[in-house]
């Protein structure tokens, strides 16, 4: 995996400080739901890096380590999705991290299952967790990786769909996307967000995202 190969080359932690946060809902009831893709992605990063995300603070749990020669903080808010910004804002303020070094991982129903998309900045769209983050940080100027969980079934309300369990068949596609998240994070840490976007984002032909205006 690209992320592991890169971290093996540069694990020194003397570089800049970065914050990576996955969004989701705490508790076993929500662990395997689509809305917890951000938590799933962060857990994979933590495992790859050998970082234990178990320190309680900032209305969440976090861990600290290194990757690609940079210092890295991994954060999982435990405020429930709709108040994720409270945790993010507290951690950003405490560590004094510039927003261009804060990366959010979260689910997006407008992106097909199995795909991810990186954005350098932008509004929260219809995602309540991101609305909370944007509001609490008073800014849209931070990068994010959106993990596809779409399309939403026509017979289901969006709230019911995002809180539904990922099936075995769907999990295979989701696993592919989560692997790409790790690759994207490595590219971001070792290079920059633009290179990560160019390497990871699907082409216009592949990507069938429904465009939503920035809020």
Which residue numbers are catalytic? 35
CA 129 to CA 133: how far, in whole Å?
6
Alpha carbon separation from 156 to 94, 160, 188 (Å, rounded): 41, 6, 36
CA 33 to CA 40: how far, in whole Å?
10
CA dihedral (108, 113, 80, 137) positive or negative: negative
- Cα dihedral 145→151→156→157 (10° resolution): 40
Pick the closest to residue 215 from 136, 95, 111, 131 (CA basis). 131
Pick the closest to residue 185 from 79, 58, 32, 74 (CA basis). 74
């Amino acid at each position: 995996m690209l992320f592991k190969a890169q971290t093996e080359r540069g694990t020194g932690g003397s570089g800049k400080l970065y914050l990576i946060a996955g969004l989701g809902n705490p508790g076993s009831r929500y662990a395997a739901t689509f809305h917890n893709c951000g938590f799933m992605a962060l857990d994979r990063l933590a495992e790859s890096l050998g970082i234990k995300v178990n320190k309680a603070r900032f209305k969440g749990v976090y861990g600290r380590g290194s990757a690609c020669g940079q210092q890295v903080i991994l954060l999982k808010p435990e405020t429930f999705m709709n108040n994720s910004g409270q945790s993010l804002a507290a951690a950003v303020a405490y560590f004094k991290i510039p927003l261009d070094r804060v990366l959010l991982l979260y689910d997006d129903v407008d992106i097909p299952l199995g795909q991810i998309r990186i954005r350098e900045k932008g509004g929260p769209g219809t995602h309540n967790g991101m609305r909370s983050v944007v509001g609490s940080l008073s800014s849209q100027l931070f990068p994010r990786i959106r993990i596809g969980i779409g399309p939403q079934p026509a017979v289901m309300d969006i709230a019911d769909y995002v809180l539904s369990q990922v099936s075995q068949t769907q999990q295979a596609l989701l696993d592919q996307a989560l692997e790409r998240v790790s690759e994207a994070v490595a590219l971001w840490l070792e290079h920059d967000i633009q290179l990560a976007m160019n390497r990871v984002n699907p082409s216009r032909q592949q990507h069938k995202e429904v465009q939503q205006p920035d809020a």
